[in-house]
Amino acid sequence: MRLRHSLAGAVVALLAVPAAAAAADDPPAFTKPLEKCYVSAAPGQTEPVQIKADNFMPLAPINVYLDEVLITPPPGTEPPTADANGELEGRVSAPYIAAGQRFFTLRLAEKNNDTATIQARAKVTALSVASSPTRPRNTSTRVRFRGRGFTNRLTPIFAHYVFKGRERQTVRIAKPFGDCGQFSVRRRQFPFKSPHTGTWTVQFDQEKAYNPQAPVFTQLKIVVTRKPGRRT
């Protein structure tokens, strides 16, 4: 499974961006709400949480907490600091989880005034696909495909059947549901007859055309043998 490009990476230092000043007595607030769900693919490959907030003390250093754990900026980067208008903008990687999904909290607080704080909650989900049974009688047997982490709810999920590096067929599997892009469907293990014996890769993503460098994808390996009952 993989998240690529802008979805991968460790904690990113927050950057101050100038904007209009707010009323001095307004409490800190998020100016951009968090997404409902973020994707976790692997350690170091989690979706970034975009942060926009205002009404901090101008130029105040800001502590950033994930699940009440203080996030330390990477070496060589400046700690988060509000700009001259008390605004803060940047990003931090969502927490990593290996399976399932859960809520996490993001909290911002002035370093020298912990009462000037704001907190928000969102979900994080592990990008994954599984099938059952894993050893069907033959490749035309209907199996249950289940997955999560396909958070573009307007785009279907596709399965690309790849053998020896070449796409052999692509099928639309399902449309995701829920905040964290889940699906659960029954389909034939292979949508075509008599697949070659050997190891197949089935790539699940939200790209209509097969792209081995898709921004977000996860894969299943299926070994096809000559004897019925030995598919995995």
Query: What is the residue-wise DSSP string for 15-65?
Result: B--------TTSPPEESSPPPSEEEEEETTEE-EEEEEEE-SPTT-BEEEE
Residue 168's nearest CA partner among 97, 229, 222 is: 222
pLDDT of residue 4: 47
Q: Measured between alpha carbons, how far is residue 210 from residues 9, 16, 160, 169, 171 in Å?
A: 24, 39, 6, 9, 10
Residue 64's nearest CA partner among 30, 26, 110 is: 110
Burial readout 185-224 (b: 16 or more C-beta within 10 A, e: otherwise) = eeeebbbeeebeeeebbbbbbbbeebeeebebbbebebeb
CA pair distance 189, 139, nearest whole angstrom: 5
Residue 69's nearest CA partner among 93, 27, 105, 102 is: 105
pLDDT of residue 143: 97
pLDDT of residue 10: 34
Span 53-69, pLDDT tens digits? 999 999 999 999 999 99
pLDDT of residue 52: 98
CA pair distance 127, 199, nearest whole angstrom: 22
Residue 208 DSSP SS3:
coil
pLDDT of residue 206: 97
Residue-averaged pLDDT of the chain: 89
Question: Side by side, which strands form the sheet with 29-30?
Answer: 29-30, 48-54, 88-93
The residue ranges of the chain whose pLDDT is under 70 are 1-24, 228-232
